A and B are shown apart, each in its own frame.
Chain A
Amino acid sequence: MDGVHDMGGMDGFGKVEVEQNEPPFHAPWEGRVLAMQRAMGYAGAWHIDHSRFAQERLPPVTYLGSTYYQRWMLAMESNITERGYATPEELKAGHAQTPGVPLKRKLTPDVVGAGLSRSSFYRQQQGPQKFQPGDRVRTKNIHPATHTRLPRYARDKVGVVELCHGCHMYPDSVAADRGDNPQWLYTVVFESSELWGPDADPTLKISIDAFEPYLDPA
């Protein structure tokens, strides 16, 4: 979706402010939010792309006005209520009124190591790899109302395939609850002038990781 989360190339957000000796969490609740997200992910309650899509669907003023872990909390509330893991009334009351629905598994202290390991996104290919490193490609001019990982600034642009990362689950399908729909994944590199016009810094090159459905031969 063409949301405010897709901010590559936007102006006006100001300087990057660096906090010296930044702690992992700025308040205990931030750690609880992160850990709950990991635990629910381990349980198979939803996928990371559902979390991303839930954040993208926040009203722009909420997205920009919330801190990082507040966005996580809001997205988690959406996934919990929309997927039927609890009702809005239960969250508001702060107590469960009915038993939970069955989940695949539960993260317990003895398996936290596994819960912290990143799962693999590789999936069995559905067809042959269409592009090879060195191929010129044009990204599609798509504007789906749903989740996509093709950023706006890199749509309808010509670039060169640099790497192939194998076949991965496809976020655009996963977030829409249409299954893994595995797709080949490539790093595609663009000249700065292709993205930002003739006045762009000529020493700059930008790459995105693009799933095969985002690309046409060029």
Chain B
Amino acid sequence: MAGHDHDHLHDHPHDHPHDHSHGSELSETQLRVRALETVLTEKGYIDPAALDAIIDAYETKIGPRNGSVVVARAWTDPAFKKALLADASKAVASMGHLSRVGDHLVAVENTPQRHNMIVCTLCSCYPWEVLGLPPVWYKSAPYRSRAVKDPRGVLDDFGITLPKNTEVRVWDSTAETRFIVLPMRPAGTEGWSEEKLADLVTRDSMIGTGLPLNPAELDSKVK
């Protein structure tokens, strides 16, 4: 980091500058990011139009709905569920309409006996292709530090209380394997379409810090 002074970052740990119309109000971070992009562009390494397309993809296309439809399919199609648990990369690829998930996706199933939770204690590994970009809390020190030691305490922060005897299994994503939780299908959803079931599948239920919505919760969400 030669040549740069980090003091400003220490002083403003939660620097989330807003877009100001006056150039003079740009934060140090904004200026440094702009300098990076200009230098890398002038060097011929990057194309700003490609950056625009990447940002657009993460803002509009790659989100937790990708994972929700996978879960809903597993809830309705036993053969697909079996394939998903055996090789999630292959099973998700077979759905075709999703972006390629790479070779290393593993689906882990919640049961009445076991609840799964995903974390990356070392950085922020997360199944982007099926869940989109990770939320800030997933990348934060409180979650990364506590998930492996006090997951029930973490679940309490999310308003979730599991039965005392349920096994809690925490998967620390310490390599390039990525995990997605297959939550349990809520009661009272017999005969529902995949489309409607997918509406019950929240992002957090696929990380293991939440449960799928039940039909009543979906109703109140729609209203």
Contact = CB atoms under 8 A, between A and B. Distances in A.
A205 B136 contact: no
B8 to A, nearest CB: 10
Contacts of B58: 24-25, 31, 34
Given A9-B149, A31-B54, A35-B54, 16 more contacts: A9-B121, A13-B145, A29-B17, A31-B55, A70-B15, A77-B36, A80-B40, A106-B47, A108-B47, A108-B49, A116-B54, A165-B106, A203-B164, A203-B166, A207-B170, A208-B174
A203 B168 contact: yes
B145 A73 contact: no
A116 B133 contact: no
Interface residues on B, range: 35 or more
A24 B128 CA distance: 12
Interface stretch (B150-158, B184-192, B211-219): B150-158
Given A39-B47, A66-B9, A165-B104, A8 B175 contact: no
A196 B99 CA distance: 39
B4 A92 contact: yes
Interface in B25-53: 29-40, 42-47, 49-53
B148 A36 contact: no
Given A70-B9, A81-B2, A112-B50, A201 B168 contact: yes
A92 B169 contact: no
Contacts of B31: 94
A58 B13 CA distance: 14
A62 B144 contact: no
B165 A27 contact: no
Top 9 nearest A-B pairs by Cβ distance?
A88-B3, A118-B102, A100-B43, A8-B121, A94-B35, A209-B175, A96-B42, A35-B51, A31-B55
Given A68-B139, A117-B99, A118-B101, A107 B50 contact: yes
Given A39-B45, A65-B13, A120-B102, A9 B145 contact: yes
A26 interface: yes
Interface residues on A, range: 35 or more
A81 B1 CA distance: 8
Given A61-B10, A121-B176, A16 B57 contact: no
Contacts of A150: 174
B111 interface: no
Interface string A154-168: 100000000101001
A28 to B, nearest CB: 6
Given A10-B145, A86-B39, A91-B3, A68 B136 contact: yes
15 contacts: A13-B141, A19-B135, A31-B54, A34-B58, A35-B50, A36-B40, A45-B45, A66-B13, A73-B29, A100-B44, A120-B104, A196-B149, A203-B164, A204-B169, A206-B172
